[in-house]
Amino acid sequence: MSFSPLTLRLIESLTCLPGVGPKSAQRMALHLLDRDRVGAQKLADSLQLAMEKIGRCQRCRNFSEETVCHTCRQTSRDPALLCVVETPADVIAIDQSGSFRGYYFLLLGHLSPIDGIGPEDIGADVLDERLAEGEVKELVIATGTTVEGEATAHYLSEMARRHNVVASRIAHGVPMGGELEYVDSNTLSLALQGRKIL
Amino acid sequence: MSFSPLTLRLIESLTCLPGVGPKSAQRMALHLLDRDRVGAQKLADSLQLAMEKIGRCQRCRNFSEETVCHTCRQTSRDPALLCVVETPADVIAIDQSGSFRGYYFLLLGHLSPIDGIGPEDIGADVLDERLAEGEVKELVIATGTTVEGEATAHYLSEMARRHNVVASRIAHGVPMGGELEYVDSNTLSLALQGRKIL
């Protein structure tokens, strides 16, 4: 005796979600089948649509269903300031702190030679072109405070120097080893104000 | 600044999963977009297919894409024994204990007048017809050991009596207040062997 083939398939598919093991997946599948078929159908549609339509913004590499994302199209921002972050969640966190009014650039990771992640994997070539345009005057580097994040910051500051762009690093108000997206707005605000020229 | 509309929609849809709040949903969405688009597509298809095809077995009320499920079609089981459980996960748990070779009937809940859950919501009418067929000689009641589970067991034993069917209750080797699906196979095996005639 076991679950029906389609139920098993659903349980197995749910384990692709981070932090969801076989037991959680089973609970989720039975919950959806028993109590929330409307929600499950909506989730299926959202997933389908998201995977079909969401690509990356040409300018900042953030996830977007448009060629150039909403943030990059905002004209109210200061084009002289470009903030480099690792993830989309970091963009949200920094914007919510209210202390940064420039544009963003997403690495979607950090340099990690041990995992085979080199400059091209974090979009260094795209950033290089962006800096060559000459509009950016200061590159605010907000990569994580991990060893890899620091190494990436160093790499990016060298790149900025080649383009005669000032490179700054958000201040170490952010706890060492912590993840940016979980830091509160005040701390992030202080970190942005206390940024130092490299 | 916020996520793109489709990303937001995906995040919001993911919160229909039990135990998933806005922050987890955000992590899941970004993980799928960034690192597991194949898994996400598969999940979308599985959800779609499951919600479209999976209904309830006519005989046992378990989730199944067939009118009568695989377990109810097995001829190797003893038709004189019918085990009543609350959830599909309970069926798996009891079958894995290897101490029961009869058929199952799923309540998909328990009597709870305070939540407006009456006999018809737990399929009491379907069970009544099943017992009226005359094939079942013993009704093994394996509802939970909660107050509602015990009340349901009492209700079902009365129904069995009306049909001259022996009603038994799995032994209280199962810890009081515990959930059946988390009990280990040995305990469940003991509980089944030690069942008492009501």
pLDDT in tens, A92-146: 888 888 889 999 999 988 888 888 888 888 999 999 999 999 999 999 999 987 8
**In terms of domains, do B42 and B84 share one?**
no
Between residues B173 and A144, the one the model is more confident about? A144
Helix (H) or strand (E) holding B80: strand B78-85
CA distance linking residue A151 with residue A154, whole number of Å: 5
Say what the pLDDT of residue A80 is.
95
**Per-residue confidence at B30, pLDDT binned at 50, 70, 90?**
very high
The reply to whether residue A6 touches residue B53, judged by beta carbons under 8 angstroms, is yes
Say how many C-beta atoms besides its own lie within 10 A of residue B15's C-beta: 17
- In the predicted model, is pLDDT for residue B89 greater than 90? no
Average pLDDT, chain B: 89
**In terms of domains, do A108 and A158 share one?**
yes
The reply to whether residue A30 touches residue B4, judged by beta carbons under 8 angstroms, is no
**Per-residue confidence at B172, pLDDT binned at 50, 70, 90?**
low
For residue A31, give the amino acid letter: H
Q: In what order do the strands lie in the sheet with B102-106?
A: B102-106, B78-85, B138-141, B166-169, B196-197
Q: Give the whole-number percent of chain B exceeding pLDDT 90.
A: 63
Nearest to B141 by CA among B176, B97, B102, B98: B102
The reply to whether residue A16 touches residue B63, judged by beta carbons under 8 angstroms, is no
Most A CBs within 10 Å: which of B11, B17, B31, as the mutation test of the A interface? B17
Q: Write out residues 51-70 of B within 8 Å (CB-CB) of A.
A: 51, 53-54, 62-66, 69-70
Is residue B167 in a domain? Answer: yes
CA distance linking residue B165 with residue A7, whole number of Å: 33
Q: Is A135 an interface residue toward B (CB < 8 Å)?
A: no
Q: Is B120 an interface residue toward A (CB < 8 Å)?
A: no
Average pLDDT over every residue of B116-136: 92
Check the CA dihedral A97-A103-A108-A109 and report its sign.
Answer: negative
Helix axes A185-193 and A88-97, enclosed angle (nearest 10): 80
Is residue A58 in a domain? Answer: no
**In terms of domains, do B105 and B135 share one?**
yes
Check the CA dihedral A36-A39-A44-A47 and report its sign.
Answer: negative
CA distance linking residue B92 with residue B115, whole number of Å: 27
Phi, psi (deg, nearest 5) at residue A118: -105, 180
**In terms of domains, do B91 and B165 share one?**
yes
Between residues B147 and B37, the one the model is more confident about? B37
Q: Is B26 an interface residue toward A (CB < 8 Å)?
A: yes
Say what the pLDDT of residue B1 is.
53
**In terms of domains, do A149 and A95 share one?**
yes
Q: Give the whole-number percent of chain B exceeding pLDDT 70.
A: 96
Residues 6+ positions from B128 with CB-CB distance below 8 Å: B159, B163
Q: What is the nearest CA distance from A131 to chain B, expressed in angstroms?
A: 22
**In terms of domains, do B91 and B174 share one?**
yes
Task: Tell me the residue range of the domain where A154 lies.
Answer: 63-197
- In the predicted model, is pLDDT for residue A155 greater than 90? yes
Residues on chain A touching B34 (C-beta within 8 angstroms): 63, 108
**Per-residue confidence at B44, pLDDT binned at 50, 70, 90?**
very high
- Work out how many domains chain B is built from and give that number: 2
Q: Is B8 an interface residue toward A (CB < 8 Å)?
A: no
Between residues B192 and A17, the one the model is more confident about? A17
Helix (H) or strand (E) holding A81: strand A78-85
- In the predicted model, is pLDDT for residue B129 greater than 80? yes
